[in-house]
């Protein structure tokens, strides 16, 4: 008999790790359409053979380490349900700190905002959900990511303009009040690239040269040309890159340079301002 309880217990034993029961319940809910609460209220409820087969396939992939977000095709960010795929980075909770920091800035009422390397559109859509009057553009160089961000924008009814562009290359001329990005920042030699969820995520969204700073260098150097006077740039980076990123901003002539921490107390983002006048 293929009951919810039996399936969850079997999957829990196979998955292991930090949250095997949660993983099992999420996967079974995904294939059955039943809520996790119902599994506890009616553990004896039976699942069809077809649903069980789909469940077994997903469990096997989870045992191999594939992230839950990719198996479900969805990840919550800023309380927004976002579709995800293997063409994009999985949005992380710590990136919500970037959104919080952006919302704390004194920007024009109809601020023009550019989210660079947007992936799923997480940052741009989170900002749009809080500031519907802002004019928000998102870019990504990967066509599949662009389509995914557009789909998320449509599904959530949050209007964001999504453009396929490698950083600034394909953008029409313009000036913004805020440039924001969670760019690749992991060194190519970092051992964590072969561990955990990161193994399944696109390297192009993670790795940035030997020291992890190649893309940040480009953004810091070119960003001044895409901002209004007094405009801000805000970049996520590695926990140990704060000093290096502040140095890059200083060398490029930025002002009001500040590094802020994530929920775990680690340096996670640096923001800087374009001088009000040259």
* Digit-coded pLDDT (tens) for 190-200: 666 556 666 65
Query: What are the pLDDT digits (tens) for 206-215?
Result: 665 667 788 9
Contact present, 203 and 185 (Cβ < 8 Å): no
**DSSP SS3 for 255:** strand
Q: Is residue 18 predicted with pLDDT exceeding 90?
A: no
pLDDT tens digits, one per residue of 103-162: 999 999 999 999 999 999 999 999 999 999 999 999 999 999 999 999 999 999 999 999
173 SS3 class: coil
**Tell me: the pLDDT tens digits for 44-84?**
888 888 888 998 899 999 988 888 899 999 999 999 999 99
Residue-wise over 53-80: b if at least 16 C-beta within 10 A, else e? ebbbebbebbeeebbbbbbeebbebbeb
41: left (phi over 0), alpha (psi -120 to 50) or beta: alpha
pLDDT confidence of residue 167: 92
Please compute the mean of the pLDDT values over residues 158-184 and round it to a whole number: 91
What phi-psi label fits residue 65: left (phi over 0), alpha (psi between -120 and 50 degrees) or beta?
Answer: left
Q: Which 8-state DSSP code applies to residue 211?
A: S
Q: What pLDDT score does 39 carry?
A: 82
For the domain bounded by 86-273, which CATH number is listed? Answer: 3.40.50.150
| pLDDT at residue 203, rounded to an integer | 59
- Which pTM value belongs to this model? 0.86
- Mention the CATH class of domain 4-64: mainly alpha
Contact 235, 217 (CB under 8 A): no
- Rounded Cα distance between 258 and 265, Å, is 15
Tens of pLDDT along 82-99?
999 888 888 988 899 999
Domain boundaries, the chain: 4-64, 86-273
Of 260, 253, 247, give the one whose Cα is nearest residue 102: 260
What was the pLDDT predicted at 199? Answer: 61
End-to-end CA distance of the chain: 74
Q: How far is the C-alpha of 106 from the C-alpha of 144, rounded, in Å?
A: 34
With residue 234 as reference, give the H or E element that holds it.
strand 227-236
């Amino acid at each position: 008999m293929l009951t919810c309880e039996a399936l969850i217990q079997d999957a829990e034993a196979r998955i292991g790790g930090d949250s095997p029961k949660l993983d099992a319940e999420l996967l079974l809910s995904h294939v059955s359409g039943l809520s996790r609460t119902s599994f506890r209220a009616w553990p004896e409820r039976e699942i069809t053979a077809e649903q069980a087969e789909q469940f077994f396939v997903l469990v096997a992939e989870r045992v191999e380490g594939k992230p839950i977000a990719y198996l479900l095709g969805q990840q919550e960010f800023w309380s927004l349900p976002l579709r995800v795929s293997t063409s994009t980075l999985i949005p992380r909770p710590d990136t919500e700190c970037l959104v919080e920091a952006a919302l704390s800035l004194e920007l024009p009422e109809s601020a023009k905002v550019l989210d660079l390397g947007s992936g799923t559109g997480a940052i741009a859509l989170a900002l749009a959900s809080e500031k519907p009057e802002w004019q928000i553009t998102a870019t990504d160089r990967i066509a599949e990511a662009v389509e995914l961000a557009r789909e998320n924008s449509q599904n959530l009814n949050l209007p964001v303009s999504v453009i396929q562009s490698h950083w600034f290359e394909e953008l029409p001329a313009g000036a913004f009040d805020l440039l924001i990005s969670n760019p690749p920042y992991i060194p190519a030699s970092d051992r964590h690239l072969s561990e955990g969820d990161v193994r399944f995520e696109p390297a192009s969204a993670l790795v940035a040269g030997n020291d992890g700073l190649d893309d940040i260098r480009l953004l810091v150097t070119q960003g001044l040309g895409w901002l209004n006077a007094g405009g801000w740039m805000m970049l996520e980076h590695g926990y140990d890159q704060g000093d290096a990123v502040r140095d890059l901003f200083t060398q490029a002539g930025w002002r009001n340079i500040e590094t802020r921490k994530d929920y775990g107390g680690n340096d996670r983002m640096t923001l800087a301002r374009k001088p009000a006048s040259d």
